[in-house]
Amino acid sequence: MREIDTQVVVIGGGATGVGILRDLSLRGIPALLLEQGDLAHGTSSRFHGLLHSGGRYVVKDEKAAKECIEENIILKHIAAHCIEDTSGWFVYLKGDDPNYLQLWIKGCALAGILVKEVPLEEAFQIEPLLTRQAKRVFEVPDATVDGFKLLWANLKSAQKYGGTYQTYCKVQSLWLENGHVVGVYAEDLITGEKLQVRSKIVVNAAGPWSSEIAAMSGFEVQMVKNKGSLLVFNQRLFNRVINHLRTPGDGDIFVPHETVTILGTTSHTVELPDDHLVNEQDVTYLLEMGQNLLEEIKQYRVIRAFAGIRPLYESADDADHEGRGVSRNFALLDHEKMDGVRGLVSIVGGKLTTYRLMAEKVTDWVATKLEVHTTCRTAEEPLQHEIATEVWDQARRLLGTAAADKMMERLNEQTGSVVEAIAQQPLLGQFVCECEMVTQAEVLHALQDPSVHSLDDLRRQTRLGMGTCQGTYCTYRATPMLQQAFGGGWERTVIEYHKLLAERWRGITPVLWGEQLRESELARALYLNVLDFKVEESGG
């Protein structure tokens, strides 16, 4: 049993949890974050990657819209390297509700969202695939955000100020004394070691797992687990975010990311916090809905389907909820007020765009309890670092501009050592992942991170396997580095291959047709024939 003493335990390594860790660390409050899997393995890596302008919410929820636009501006400032400022369009189609259009324009003005109408002819020139059913097109400051990069940037910043974290560490129960929470009991899932962490406050930021955490001690967090399914196309169909200008619904957002485009989403209530299975009906439905904005959608190649669980807050009493001073979209639940238990707070609901604001509210609450009077600095202090000009120049000289820039966005202030390694040994500049332009040197660097325990963890840090080949080539190319980093000989390496291929296959099976089916046959030929992997038993 390992004993740890700290001020605050944060449960959950998604964007909110890591955002809270950063905020606490910046205010000088010692904190430990515990995550049952790898960072961002839940909702934070399972969304469309849209940095909302708020345009989607202006009609139904003015407050949420205002929060979005404020956070949108802040994040573009503090995390520019994680965001592609694509802008976004709201497209009003033939037959859409004209009343909604009027309400939307008014709502944007009220929320402070800058709207510019794009002449139709110009719109078709800029986005040639846009449906000719479009009647009016409005530009808003939507953008796309790389949830992985953002989360790791927050983590690095938190670490710099003393924040600590442990992944693959599952909270087993809350530690209660005299009816109050004084810490947690947890288990290191890799070593099997038990942990006993004493703290003044426990923050439950476990997203879809929040109700499970609270339930450990018999408390209730009223939450709806809502599954959203998304599709990934193998190319950039659009260069900006495309929204359907109507009451928000299913399959009405296209978000371009690096080399791919994501179409989302659906909305179903589910029971389990990790129900990430996408069925073919969802896929068919998304394609039908997507057709409204992109008529020829069925000609394009879907490389993957995935799903995330939205942890939506459901209050029994709206007035009471408003009384907590947070928006309807996220809620801070003080268990002292609700259940008479000191030392525990839960944060539920919200969206990635407002993760920083949620973290700020939680940290304000914690600071008050701990009587710490430092103010929040997360809105001002940038997450990225100025990279020295020499490093930029050298990286671009060695790798070319496109690959160098992508690498520097991912690595930020740690770029220097990787560039140095490539300069010393130029062949380390070979790409492991050609889709996302990840070099051997970068993979080796990521593998030094003690929290990388598998090829799948490596994927979240480097985007390896997330491009158009879906892991066919890059899994193979990572072989020597994996064996070096993980040890365990060939058997272990083969297990890692299997795990990553299985994870990728799960996302491919719902879209197994067309060119993606062909690509899958190629992958089977490679692994079963060329590399002579053993045939698996049928999984039924």
Provide the binding-site residues for another protein, judged by CB under 8 A. Answer: 280, 283-284, 287, 298-299, 302, 398, 422, 425-430, 476-477, 479-480, 483-484, 489-490, 493, 498, 501-502, 504-506, 509, 512-514, 517-518, 521-540
Cβ nearer to another protein, comparing 296 with 381: 296
Residues 6+ apart with CB under 8 A from 222: 211, 313, 314, 315, 316
Closer CB to another protein, residue 9 or residue 511?
Answer: 511
Backbone angles phi, psi at 147, to 5 degrees: -60, -35
Rg of the chain (C-alpha set): 23
Integer Cα distance of 252 and 291 in angstroms: 9
Rounded to the nearest whole angstrom, what is the least distance from the CB of residue 54 to another protein in the complex?
34
What ranges in 226-316 are assigned the alpha helix state H? 280-290
Of the pair 31, 303, the CB lying nearest another protein is at 303
Cα 357 → chain centroid: 16
The DSSP secondary-structure symbol of 425 reads S
Closest contact distance (angstroms) between CB of 189 and another protein is: 24
The overall longest dimension of the chain from CA atoms, in Å, is 69
Closest separation in Å from C-beta 488 to another protein: 12
- Measured CA to CA, the distance from residue 501 to residue 446 in angstroms comes to 20
**291 burial class (0-12, 13-18, 19+ CB within 10 angstroms)?**
middle
Cβ 518 to another protein, closest distance in Å?
A: 6
Q: Report, in Å, the least distance between residue 476 CB and another protein.
A: 7
Tell me whether residue 207 or residue 510 sits nearer to another protein (CB atom): 510
> Residue 343 or residue 465: which is nearer to another protein going by CB?
465
> Which residue, among 252, 283, 330, 332, has the nearest Cα to 88 in the 3D structure?
252
- Quote the least distance from Cβ 459 to another protein, whole Å: 16
Label the pairing between strands 88-93 and 241-244: parallel
Q: Two tokens at 30?
A: 């010692």
Considering the complex, state which of residue 85 and residue 521 has its C-beta at the smaller distance from another protein: 521
Whose Cβ is closer to another protein: residue 94's or residue 534's? 534
- In the complex, least distance from residue 410 CB atom to another protein, rounded to whole angstroms: 19
> Between 402 and 525, whose beta carbon lies closer to another protein?
525
Q: CB of 208: closest distance to another protein in angstroms?
A: 23
CB of 346 to another protein, least distance (A): 35
Nearest C-alpha neighbor of 425 from the set 390, 398, 462, 458: 398
- Find how far residue 317's CA is from the centre of its chain: 30
Closer of 90 and 497 to another protein (Cβ):
497
What is d(CA 463, CA 146) in angstroms, rounded to the nearest whole number? 10
Token readout for 2 is 């390992």
Q: Which is nearer to another protein, 219 or 473 (CB)?
A: 473
Give the CA angle between residues 307, 310, 312 to the nearest 5°: 160
User: Measured on CA atoms in the order 38, 405, 436, 145, is the torsion positive or negative?
Assistant: positive
Among residues 142, 108, 209, which one has the least CA distance to residue 353? 142
Closest among 335, 332, 352 to 344, alpha carbons compared: 335
Closest approach, Cβ 268 to another protein, in A, equals 19
* Torsion sign (Cα): 256, 257, 259, 260: negative
Least distance (Å) between residue 461 CB and another protein = 21
Instruction: Report the distance separating Cα 267 and Cα 289, nearest Å.
Output: 13
Q: Give how far the C-alpha of residue 36 lies from the chain's centroid of Cα atoms, to the nearest Å.
A: 16
Decide whether 183 or 507 has the Cβ nearer to another protein.
507
